[in-house]
Amino acid sequence: MDSHDSKIIEKCTESYNLVLVFCLILFTVWYYMHCKKQVIVRWPVLGMLPWIIINAHRIHDWTVDISKIFGGTVIERGPFFGRLEIVYTCDPRNAKYILATNYYNFNDRQDYRDAFDILGDGLLTATSNFWTAQRRAARMTFTSKIVRNIIFHKGTKVTQHALLPLLSHLSKESSGVDLQDVLMSFPPNELAEAMDNASEAILFRHVLPISWWKLSRRLKIGSNEKKLEAAGKIIDRNIAEYIKVKREEMVAKGSKADKYEENDLLEVYMSIKDGEKDELMLAKMLTDKFFRDTCITFLIAARDTTASTLSWFFWMILKNPSVEAKILEELELIISKKNTMEKNPVIFDADDQTGMVYLHAALCESLRLYPAVPLLRKTSTSDDVFPDGTVIWPGMTVIISCYAMGRMEWVWGEDCLEFKPERWISEDGKLNPEALSKLVSFSLGPRNCVGKDMAFVLMKLVASAVIYNYHVEVLEGQNIVPTPAITLKMMNGLMVRVRGRVFP
189-193, 225-229, 250-254, 407-411: which has the highest mean pLDDT? Answer: 407-411
Q: How confident is the model over 289-309, as pLDDT tens digits? A: 998 998 888 887 777 788 899
Distance CA 45, CA 360 (A): 49
CB 109 within 8 A of CB 283: no
- Residue 342: DSSP 8-state: P
Beta strands in 70-149 (DSSP E): 73-77, 85-89
Establish whether 449 is an annotated binding residue.
yes
More confident residue, 218 or 482: 482
pLDDT at residue 45 tops 70: no
DSSP string, 388-423: TS-EE-TT-EEEEEHHHHTT-HHHH-TTTTS--GGG
Q: How confident is the model over 130-179, as pLDDT tens digits? A: 888 888 888 888 888 888 888 888 899 999 999 999 999 999 887 789 99
pLDDT of residue 502: 66
pLDDT at residue 33 tops 80: no
pLDDT of residue 30: 53
Record the pTM.
Answer: 0.83
Confidence of residue 7 (pLDDT cuts 50, 70, 90): very low
pLDDT of residue 53: 72
**Could you tell me the domains of the chain?**
102-373+407-500 (1.10.630.10)
pLDDT of residue 81: 46
pLDDT of residue 18: 54
pLDDT of residue 484: 86
Distances (CA, A) of 274 to 130, 256, 271, 282: 17, 11, 6, 9
Rounded to the nearest 5 percent, the helix, strand and coil shares of the chain are: 60, 10, 30
CB 42 within 8 A of CB 48: yes
pLDDT > 70 in the chain, percent:
83
More confident residue, 49 or 130: 130
pLDDT of residue 263: 65
More confident residue, 20 or 349: 349
Distances (CA, A) of 136 to 1, 131, 281, 446: 43, 8, 11, 11
DSSP string, 405-474: HTT-HHHH-TTTTS--GGGGB-TTSSB-HHHHTT--TT--GGGS-TTHHHHHHHHHHHHHHHHHHEEEEE
Q: How confident is the model over 347-390, as pLDDT tens digits? A: 999 999 999 999 999 999 999 999 999 998 888 999 999 999 99
Contacts of 59 (CB under 8 A, 6+ apart): 52, 203, 207, 484
Distance CA 414, CA 75 (A): 26
Q: How confident is the model over 404-455, as pLDDT tens digits? A: 999 999 999 999 999 999 999 999 999 998 888 888 888 888 888 888 888 9
> 46 by DSSP, 3-state: which?
coil
Write b or e for each residue in 305-327: b if 16 or more Cβ atoms lie within 10 A of its Cβ, otherwise e: bbbbbbbbbbbbbbebeebbebb
Distance CA 112, CA 97 (A): 19
- Residue 492: DSSP 8-state: T
Q: Is the dihedral of CA 146, 147, 149, 153 positive or negative?
A: positive
Q: How confident is the model over 268-282, as pLDDT tens digits? A: 777 776 666 778 888
Average pLDDT, the chain: 83
